Structure 1
């Protein structure tokens, strides 16, 4: 009889050697920054407790997180919401092997706006004023023109895809 140092992946019948499983466990634990690990754990603990109080314990999904952050948006600044989202998402990956991702078919526009806001260092008003006419598609490069707003100066940035 063989020793049980081979595990089976949850996706199928492929066997995974014990050394690989241990490497995955180590790598997963390394996902959390050492200096702020306690903050991550505290943010996760608060989220789990909120889930327990709201009868959604163990049902961690995009919708549950949306409800959690919607409720907290009334008391937290946007930077705090973002930090807590990032920490909880990391902890869900480590503790539950669950990677919460917003599906493209439902959230693609939000992702595009977030990327453009971050890459272009855009103000809220600038994003609201933008239209498809502000984006020039050059094949593997997008040139984004940010209309003038508070500074009365328009500016550009580019998004280049890998080929």
Structure 2
């Protein structure tokens, strides 16, 4: 549709596709578009369709790109809100299965696999392999055409039994289910023989936010599970490469944004900048034990002198910049 509108405009002007014509067209469109990011969205659609129909790569039009970047200054795209680990636990533990079982399964799979809304919608019962101690899920049809595999596991002494929740929902599937889609309509503790649509799956996270009484529940969208997954991993210290593998991102830009926004990283930087490290461990070498910043503390060190049965225990208290030599 966007391409047809552009070509109709070109026909009125009696012009062919070129950088100058595209620049003039987008300048005119800029005055009509309301949302700040709409100009980039229209450019992206034109880029794909013009290359498809005319084999012209408009991404090489430097003047056009410079214009778009200038118009984009100060624009911050809206991002789906994310759930914290505590909020996830609260929902999974407190929400009634009779009302929210499908929500729980979507949250578990969506966060564990960094799933997009479309990936949850297209997920089938054949994509799930139950290995008793864990469940394997394969996502074949992805936006970036990168097949991903992730697992769901339990942990001893943890309050939430993830496997039980997923298995409970799967067992409720009608025996005569006509579709292989995993997510079937769920009401009053029963699954119906009707596939859950993409829009409904996208709205599940906002329903969870409403249950948890979170502010701006409408900001929890179908992308919230994916962003929550990446955020939790980044806060655990996972690097860009690990995030790219987990989420199937081809570009490092998105993965880097999660690492940059990680609260754990920000807290570590703040600690290094604003606070003295008075509790740093003292270093130990074979011949020299150096202790620094150990004032008003008591520490015990084990020193290996590279000889059999020669471990030495040393207790140190009220020490500051002490050096011990062993001969």
TM-score using structure 2 length: 0.20
For the pair shown, which has the larger CA radius of gyration, 1 or 2?
2
